Amino acid sequence: GLAVDREGFLWAASEGEALRISLGRSWSVYDSSLGLRGTVQAAIDLDDGTTLVATTTGLYASHHDAHDRVSFTPIATDRREVS
């Protein structure tokens, strides 16, 4: 699916990844290399800067390290589908 957030970013959900796109600026791909599992169903940016991504295996929250690199950890999962 596609959606635009309040900051004007375009979000695209596809099988296995969520894309955050800003035309005229850089864009990010969030996929299994960052900790996401399953097919992406929806994504949202929260006011505190956290990105939540819902997949077929659960809900994941973004975290930024000291170098501002992003990764995702599960905060709610369907244990039947998590490997």
Asked whether the beta carbons of 37 and 55 are under 8 A apart, the reply is: yes
The string of pLDDT tens digits covering residues 20-63 is 887 766 778 889 999 999 988 888 889 898 999 999 999 999 99
What residues are paired with 3 via a beta bridge? 11
CA-based nearest residue to 61, from 69, 49, 72, 70: 72
Give the phi and the psi of residue 7 in degrees, each rounded to 5: -90, 0
The DSSP letter of residue 32 is: G
Q: pTM for the full model?
A: 0.68
